Structure formats: C-alpha cells, structure tokens
Amino acid sequence: MKYDAQVKNRMKRIEGQVKGLLKMMEEEKDCRDVVTQMSAVRNAMDRTAALIVSMNLERCIREEQMNGQSSEELIKEAVNLLVKSR
C-alpha cells in the first residue's frame, strides 16, 4: 500500500511526541504529566491506524467492485484490524 503525505506527517508528529515524552522522563517530570502525554501518543496512534485501515478499505472495495466481487469480507477484516489495534 502506498501511504500518502498526510499519514506520513501524522507519524512524524507522533515521533515528535514520543521524543518529547522521553525528554520528560529524562527530566523526571511529574507522573501525571508523563501519563497524560502517553495517552496523547496512544490516541494519535489509534487515529492514524483507523485512517490507514479506512484508506485501505476504500481502495480494496473499489477494486473489488470493479471485479464484481462482494466487499463484505473486506469490511469484516477492517473491523477486526481496528478492534485488534485497541
């Protein structure tokens, strides 16, 4: 799958968040602040995973429709991927 600039930029922002999190830990910042930042990173990853799954699902459904195939299995697989990521 080809990943567009939007997805790559999201991952770069997440990378920056993780680096900031490590810096907070090195500076021995308050536990609550560290955990809050960890939650922000996890939420950003979840949203990015959902975006990737939805983009892939959309592409696969279009290809299947051109081939006259059902998209039900693809939708089930996408839902399973999203559930697994949580």
The count of domains in the chain is: 1
- Structural domain of 64: 5-85
Residue-wise pLDDT tens digits, 43-57: 999 999 888 888 877
CB 61 within 8 A of CB 71: yes
Q: What is this structure's pTM?
A: 0.74
Question: Residues of 55-81 as b/e, b for ≥16 C-beta within 10 angstroms?
Answer: bbbeebbeeeeeeeeeeeebeeebeee
Q: Give me the mean pLDDT over the 17-32 stretch.
A: 97
Q: Which residue has the tokens 């699902």?
A: 57
Query: For residue 79, what is the domain's CATH number?
Result: 1.20.58.1000
Assess whether pLDDT exceeds 80 at residue 62: no
Assess whether pLDDT exceeds 80 at residue 79: no
The amino acid at residue 30 is D
Please give the residue that has the higher pLDDT: either 44 or 58: 44
